[in-house]
Amino acid sequence: MKRYFYNIWETITTLMIGLGVTFGHLLRIRKGNVTLQYPEERWPQPQREIGFNLDRYNVIRSRLHVDIDDCIGCLQCSRACPVDCIKIEFVKVDKGLDIGTTSNDTKKRLLVTRFDIDMTECCFCNLCTYPCPEDCIYMTGGPNSRKHPIDYEYSTYDRSDLIFRFSNVDPDQVARLTGQNELKVGGK
């Protein structure tokens, strides 16, 4: 009998405490609100001051981007990728022909005819960005926003639009520089 009334009493008190908690939140909604009204407001982007003072830091994982002019076709990124979403093909340039240098003053020897990143396959592990000797593959935004602005919502109407083709070499150029029409395919 005592237990019966104690149970009722415990129910009433604990439920009242619970009601108090929610009512407190109801009153304090202006302070406690955590909703971000997405299209109008955006998440504050991490700024340089909070510690991305080293250029090698690459801590935004939004979308892979390649500065194709700097790519030397070393296939390091493609090898590092655990899901094989980076597809690179290149052709050897004939000896003596100059196809320019990268921003790190490395002489380019290979013409990258295909550099496709399938972002539908990408698992955003960031493993490809580390081995790159020219720092030309990176996730956009954050400390890299100087190179390429952040791309939060790279949504498209078509799935195939998420395959990013970075190579800007046209077949004529290939034929001119290599003296052959057949592409000699390297890489994966």
Partner 1 sequence: MTITWLIEWVNDSWLGFLGLPGAFILAVIIAGLAIFGLVAVHAIVAVYVERKVAAFMQDRIGPMGQGPGLHAGKWGLLQTVADALKLLVKEDIIPAAADRKLFVLAPFILFLGAFIAFVALPFSESLVLADFNVGLFYILAVSSFGVIGLILAGWASNNKWSLYGAMRSAAQIISYEIPAAISLIAVILLVGSLNMQAITSAQSGTVWGILPNWFVFQNPFTFMAFFIYFIAGIAETNRTPFDIPEAESELVAGFHTEYSGMRWAFFFLSEYANMFIVCGVAVVVFLGGWQSPIPGLMTGRIWGLFWFMGKVVFLVLIMMWIRWTFPRLRVDQLMNVSWKVLLPLAFFNLFGAGIWSLWLD
Partner 2 sequence: MGVNKTEEMVLNIGPQHPSTHGVLRLKVQTDGEIVTSVTPVIGYLHRCFEKHCENITYQQVIPFVDRCDYIASMNNDFGYVLAVEKLLGIEVPEKVEYIRVIMAEMNRIASHLLALGTFGLDVGAFTPFLYMFRDRERILDLFELTCGARLLYNYMWVGGLSHDIPVGFVEKTYEFLDYFEPQIDEYNNILTFNKIFIERTADVGILPVDVAINFGVTGPNLRGSGLRWDLRKDETYSIYDRFDFNVPVGQGIKGSVGDSWDRYWVRVEEMRECVKIIRQALDMMPRDGDVKAAVPKRIRPPQGAIYSRSETPRGELGFYILSDGKPKPFRLKMRSPAFTALSVLSEISQGWMISDVLAILGSLDIVLGEIDR
**Scanning the structure block, which residue is given the tokens 């698992």?**
123
> What are the beta bridge partners of residue 66?
137
Residue 49 gets which letter from DSSP?
A: G
Report which secondary-structure segment, H or E, holds 62. Answer: none
Query: Site for partner 1 (CB under 8 A): which residue of 9, 18, 103, 173?
Result: 18
Quick check: 58 binds partner 2 (CB under 8 A)?
Answer: yes
In the complex, least distance from residue 156 CB atom to partner 2, rounded to whole angstroms: 22
Pairing of strands 64-66, 163-165: unpaired
Helix (H) or strand (E) holding 115: strand 110-118
Question: Which H or E element spans position 90?
Answer: strand 86-92
Nearer to partner 1, 34 or 50 (CB): 34
- Judged by CB under 8 A, the residue of 74, 110, 132, 139 near partner 2 is 139
Asked if residue 25 binds partner 1 (CB under 8 A), the reply is: yes
The answer to whether the beta carbons of residues 83 and 119 sit under 8 Å apart is no
Pick what 33 binds: partner 2, partner 1, none; C-beta below 5 to 8 Å, kind-dependent.
partner 1
User: In the bound complex, what is the minimum distance in angstroms from residue 49's beta carbon to partner 2?
Assistant: 8
Residues near partner 1, by CB under 8 A? 8, 15, 18-19, 21-23, 25-26, 29, 32-35, 37, 40
